[in-house]
């Protein structure tokens, strides 16, 4: 199985801050990675597909980059609704696997 | 747009079979070359992909669950299904269905399933 190591597991930040979340794959996955946002009590929603493509309707403050084994999700200016949990997930090979999540908290 | 809705019992006894249905609306499960996925989320193990089924019936299961999982579909009802046998408390989770192509989107709202006597 491909292990997805996401860091940090949590972070504290303020409205307007720029934050970066990292996901590392245990082997190369090309750009077969998505980033998901999960609000409390809700299903995850995809923000980024193919590592760097913004899902339609997602604010442009979200961006993704990376290829191979190292990936990042950046939020350029945190908004109040962004203080939730984020996951990466690879679909390069079965079984599909998820990172353990990053909870973004208000400082 | 495509929407998914999970249904099934919220409580299952240990050693029994968990059976869930995902009803798809706003698009046919036979069109578009999509896979249809089951994913679960428990507090202990985070998000875990269970398996995919293609409209042809081809399936791909997580090896960690493969001996207990069966996925199927009913194209006439635009539904797909999950059966998980011999459940234990470790199978208690929120179960999601999702459409998948290059990742999962959209997801259903999820259904909480508790395994308890």
Element (H, E) at A64: strand A62-67
Q: Which of B48, B49, B96 sits opposite A43 (nearest CB)?
A: B96
Quote the pLDDT of residue A81. Answer: 97
- Using a CB-CB distance cutoff of 8 angstroms, which residues of chain B are in contact with residue A87? 46-47
Mean pLDDT of the region A29-41: 97
pLDDT digits (tens, 9 = 90+) for A61-104: 999 999 999 999 999 999 999 999 999 999 999 999 999 999 99
> What residues of chain B have any CB closer than 8 angstroms to a CB in chain A?
46-49, 52, 60, 62-64, 96, 100, 102-110
pLDDT grade for A105, boundaries at 50, 70 and 90: very high
| Spans in chain B with pLDDT lower than 50 | none
- Residue pair A61/A73 in contact by the 8 Å Cβ criterion: no
What is the residue-wise DSSP string for B82-106?
EEE-S--GGG-EEEEEEEESSSEEE
- Say what the pLDDT of residue B43 is: 80
* CB-CB contact of B106 with B4 (8 Å): yes
**pLDDT of B31:** 86
Using a CB-CB cut-off of 8 Å, the residues of chain B touching A96 are: 49, 52
Residues in chain A: 107
pLDDT digits (tens, 9 = 90+) for A1-25: 999 999 999 999 999 999 999 999 9
pLDDT of residue B45: 72
| B49, B64, B109: residue with CB nearest A96 | B49
């Amino acid at each position: 199985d491909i292990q997805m190591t996401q860091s940090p597991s949590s972070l504290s930040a303020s409205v307007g801050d720029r934050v970066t979340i990292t996901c590392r794959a245990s082997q190369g996955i090309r750009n077969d990675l998505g980033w998901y946002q999960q609000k409390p009590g809700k299903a995850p929603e995809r923000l980024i597909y193919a590592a760097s493509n913004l899902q339609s309707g997602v604010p442009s403050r979200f961006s993704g980059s990376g290829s191979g084994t190292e990936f990042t999700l950046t939020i350029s200016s945190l908004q109040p609704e962004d203080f939730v949990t984020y996951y990466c997930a690879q679909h390069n090979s079965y079984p599909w696997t998820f990172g353990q999540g990053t909870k973004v908290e208000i400082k | 747009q495509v929407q998914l809705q999970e249904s099934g019992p919220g409580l299952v006894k240990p050693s029994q079979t968990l059976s869930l249905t995902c009803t798809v609306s706003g698009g046919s499960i036979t069109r578009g070359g999509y896979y249809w996925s089951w994913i679960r989320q428990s507090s202990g193990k985070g998000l875990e992909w269970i398996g995919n089924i293609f409209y042809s019936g081809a399936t791909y299961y997580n090896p960690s669950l493969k001996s207990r999982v069966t996925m199927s579909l009913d194209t006439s009802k635009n539904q797909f299904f999950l059966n998980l046998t011999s459940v234990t408390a470790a199978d208690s989770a929120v179960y999601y269905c999702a459409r998948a192509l290059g990742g999962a989107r959209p997801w259903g709202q999820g259904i909480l399933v508790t395994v308890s006597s």
